[in-house]
Structure 1
């Protein structure tokens, strides 16, 4: 009950300050690329270049064959786009409190908004790539279907996952700066350990359950089920349960950690 009350109070504070949250999110997007000639376009250019590099290496260089009779590039972006959101949002949210120490020391400011501001900034960029996802499939002749709408369910799941994890990491990094480096390292490891540009079918079936416990496997597989395999989310079996158990536990624990450490932020910063 204590964890639930902490989480309820935390979410309630976000809702009551939704106007301020939205304004700060727009301001963050503008400030992130201030001074550069292309401005916010860099938020879209960098992921697009990454996609092109992977496509060239695997499609042109290694002559990757279609995956399950779907063009490799379509299969690839279904994994890359949700990963871009997860990695960008988590890394930015992790450093959000530490990088805004001047706001933390203001008694009237809701510090709980800082991680969510970074998540929403990443979400706004990600929505562009969701639109690109629909466009790319249409260009290849795959028209939109009702299964595609599940992408918003998986996007919501991604937000909940990052939200819970960032509450923990953004709170701990104030006291242990190495947490930021640890998060970056785990994201790199997670990228190669998650079936983004390789298929889980390459792993012996007896070991596949280990990879399926990875919460980002659930999200990426969900994107592919929405656009390629046309499966509903409830058809994923125990991965539904494992993902939401992990995500809810992360959110509850994150709210508890944040509320416990919040009174000491200003002293350390």
Structure 2
């Protein structure tokens, strides 16, 4: 879609009163806005910073140092794969950073664009979707750093790497699913934005980021698998490093929860969309 067509489509309309699922065709028609919003927010994020986009590498490395020190002094072993802990941890921290970054910016996406939301017509779901696009830029840079670390330790991916794109998509879908809920809730209840950092801190420890899921006691594994990020994170680590394949039942539970959250988020976002203009 040309930029002129996008401007023609940005017409002033009243709030929509549809209660159905997201109109995928409409989102596709306005797809150029996703990249416009993403590019704008990316420039704002790193404006007047000294290291700029290098923060995408600094953050996971800093967390790696913290958890490495913690496990060293505690005497615990967060991995049973025999691989260097740096690689095991980064394979969890980097996709988690993609998730956390998307959720953080996605939660604020409606409120931070209130001038557009209240005056201009376009599919509002484009705003949380654009948050995914921004986070993917940081993820790509951090992933390149991970490949360099793997080369340093002489760790070669196995044939399972062909499933890595599916695992990355799973992380993106989970990120978007949670963002749909939180962005809509935050537009109505501002308290949500203050809960998100706490939720992400808890989620970091409740997900196989700095440890492998195999370290969780079998009696709690089914409950642990209700976390929708367990499947994508373990799948990402397995696809890239060739660790033990995730158990089918926990993986199915985790992915099932993820799609349930996604469908519920699409419905809830659509229902709340008509209230955005009045509440923000």
On whether the aligned pair clears a TM of 0.5, the verdict is: yes
1:150 and 2:134 equivalent? no
Partner Cα distance (2:90, 2:138) in 1:
15
Q: Distance in 1 between matches of 2:211 and 2:243?
A: 19
Deviations 1:69-101 (A, max 9, x none): 211111111111111111111111011101111
Residues 93-129 of structure 1 show CA distances to partners (whole Å, capped at 9, x for unaligned) of 0111011111111233432211111111011111122
Q: Root-mean-square deviation (CA), in Å?
A: 2.4
Out of 234, 243, 246, the residue aligned to residue 254 of structure 2 is: 243
Equivalent position of 1:211 in the other structure: 224
1:121 equivalent in structure 2: 134
Distance (Å, rounded) in 2 between the aligned partners of 1:56 and 1:240 = 30
2:89 aligned residue (76, 79, 98): 76
Give the corresponding residue for 2:173.
160
Secondary structure of 1:265 counterpart: helix
- Give the alignment partner of residue 24 of structure 1, picking from 27, 33, 37: 37
- Cα deviation for residue 177 of structure 1 reads 1.0
Q: What is the match of residue 103 of structure 1? A: 116
- Which blocks of at least 5 consecutive residues in structure 2 are unaligned? 1-17
Quote the residue 1:169 is aligned against. Answer: 182
| Cα separation, 1, equivalents of 2:217 and 2:75 | 24
SS of the aligned residue for 2:182 comes to: helix
Query: How far is the alpha carbon of 1:29 from its aligned partner?
Result: 0.7
Higher helix share: 1
1:17 positional shift? 1.9
TM-score (norm 2): 0.84
TM-superposed deviation, 1:39: 2.8
Change beyond 3 A, Cα 1:29–1:55: same
Count of paired positions: 262
